[in-house]
Structure 1
Amino acid sequence: MASKMSDDVSKRCPECNSEHLVKDYERGELTCNDCGMVLEDSIIDQGPEWRAFDSEQDDRRARTGSPMTFLSHDKGLATEISWSNKDYYGKRIPHKNRAQIYRVRKWHQRIRVSNAAERNLSLALQMLNDNGAKLGIPKDIKETAALIYRRAVEKNLIRGRSIESIVCASIYAACRMINLPRTLDEISKASEVNKKKIGKAYRHLAKELSLNLKPTTPYSYIAQFCNKLELDKQAIVVSEDIVRKSIELGISSGKGPTGVAAASIYIASVMVGKPRTQKEIARVSGVTEVTIRNRYKEISKHLGIPEME
C-alpha cells in the first residue's frame, strides 16, 4: 500500500489533536497516525499519474514545460522548436528531412514575432541576455532588468533613445536594486555603449519609473574588487573595516564609492601581506591611479596609517 506521511499544520485530528496525519492515496483516505481515526475518505491525489526513477525520466515525462520568464518577449509561454537535429525520442533526423525541418523552424521563429513592438522587445531582451552573460550577473538580476525594460516600453520611454542605452541602463538599475552593483565603466565595456549615454538613460528611467534607488556605498564594491584581485576573506574584512572607519569620520562624504573602496583595498592588501599595486587596483575598479592615491592619502592621514610609498 502506497502511503505518505504529512505533517499538515493546518489540520489536526479532532479526536486526539495530533498533527501526524497519513495520506493513503490508494484508498483515498486521510487518517490519524496516532489514534487511527479517518478524517477524510475521498482525498484527491494531486501528483502526476506517472512515476520517474531518475532525473532524466522526470524531465522527459513532465508535461508542465519551463517556468515563465521575463527574459523572453513572449515570457517563455510559446512553443519552441529545438535547433538540435534530433526528434522527440532523441534519434537523429535523416538528412533528407533536415531541409524541411529547417524551413519549419525558420517560419516558426518569424510568426512568434507578430509586430514591430514585439520585434523591438525580442531584440532588446536578446541584447540584455548577451550583456548580462558578459558581465557575469545572475539570472535574478537579468529578470529584474527585463522587467524594468518592459515598464519603460509600456510608458513609451524608448522613443528617441537607442535600445542599447536603455538596455544597459536597465541592467545598471537592476544591479543597484539587488545590491550587487556594476560600475558604468564595466557595463559600457561589455556593451560597447558610451558611458555618458548609459548614465543619461539611467537618470531618465529612474525619474520616469520612480525607482528611488539609494546611493551605492563602498561596501558594495569591496568583495567584487577583491575577488578580481585574488585577495582572500581576510583582505575583504580589513577593507570593510577601513571603509567603516572612513564613513564614521566623514572622509568618504562627497567622494566616489569606487575610489574609496579601491583605496581601502590598496591599504588592506599591504596590511595582510598580499600587496597589490595601484595600477592593478585601478584596472579592476575603473578609477584612475591618481584618484586611488588621493583617497589613500586622505584615509591614511585621518586613520593614522603610516605612508606606504
Structure 2
Amino acid sequence: MSILVNKDTKLLVQGITGRDGQFHAGRMKEYGTNIVAGTSPGKGGQEVNGIPVFDTVSDAVKKTGANTSIIFVPAAFAADAILEASYAGIDLVIAISEGVPIQDMIRVNSIIKQNGTKLIGPNCPGLITPDEALVGILPGMIFKKGNIGLMSRSGTLTYEVVNMLTMNGLGQSTVVGIGGDPVAGLYYQEILEMYENDPETEAVVLIGEIGGDAEEQAAEYIAQHMTKPVVSFIAGQTAPPGKRMGHAGAIISSGAGTAEEKIKAFAKANVPVAKEPSEIPGLLKEKLAKATS
C-alpha cells in the first residue's frame, strides 16, 4: 500500500516551465510517475515534456483530476503556491523551494490544516515509493522496492542511507524527505503513524539531526505507539554548541537540541542510534530478526 504516493498518484507540477520544474518533471515522468499537468501563469495551453500546462491549479485540477502537487517556484512565491494548491483541493503538496520565510510557513500551516491539505517541506527533496512514484529530486536509481520506511531531515543523508540499504538487500516501502526548516509540514510523528498503519512497512529508519526537539517528540511517540522496529541516526553528534549544519532548523541553542539529548531519548524508547550511517543496515537486520523470533 505504501504511504502518501503510489501508482495512483496524479501529480501536478507547479512552476513546470522554469528550469528546475522542466528538468525534474522530465526525470519524474521518466521514472514512471503519473504527471497529469503543470502550471505556469500566462503559459496555459503549452506542453512541457508532453505534459499539458495550465494557468492555474484550479483549472488543472478540474481538467485532470490532479490530487498531488510539487512546487518548483522561487521562495518568495512558494507560500502562495502552497495555498493555491490547497484551495484548489489538492490532497498532498510537496514544496521543494528553499529559503521560504518562517513567517510565511507559520501562516500557511494554519490555513492548510483547516483545508485538510498535507504538506511535505519546504526545503525538502520530496519522497518516493519505489517502482511506483517519484515526487521530488531524489535519485531514483538507488531505490529498491521493499519493506523499510525511511524519513529524514537531511536530503544527502537520505541518499547515502538508502544506497546502503539497497546494497544490503533492504528495499524501501516509502522514503520521505521532510526537510530541515524549523517550520514545515508533516513531521516525524505524523509519518511514523502512517508507517505503523502501512502493511507494507515492516521497520522504520529515522534520520535526525541536531537542533530543535522533533526527535525527542518522535522518541516519545515511538515508545507509546509504535509496534514496528525503529532505528535511528543523528547527524551532528560531534557538533559544538551554536553550530549551524546547513539547515535553518539544525542549530543548538542554550544547550537544547543536542545529539546527546536525542540519543538518550531514543534509548529510552528502545531505538538504537547508529554511530555511523554504515551501521544502519546491521541494526535493522538485528531488529527485524528479534521481531520475527
TM-score normalized by the length of structure 1: 0.28
Structure ID, larger Rg: 1
Asked which structure has the greater RCO (Cα within 8 Å, sep 6+), the reply is: 2
Kindly indicate which of the two structures has a greater share of residues assigned to strand. Answer: 2
TM-score normalized by the length of structure 2: 0.29
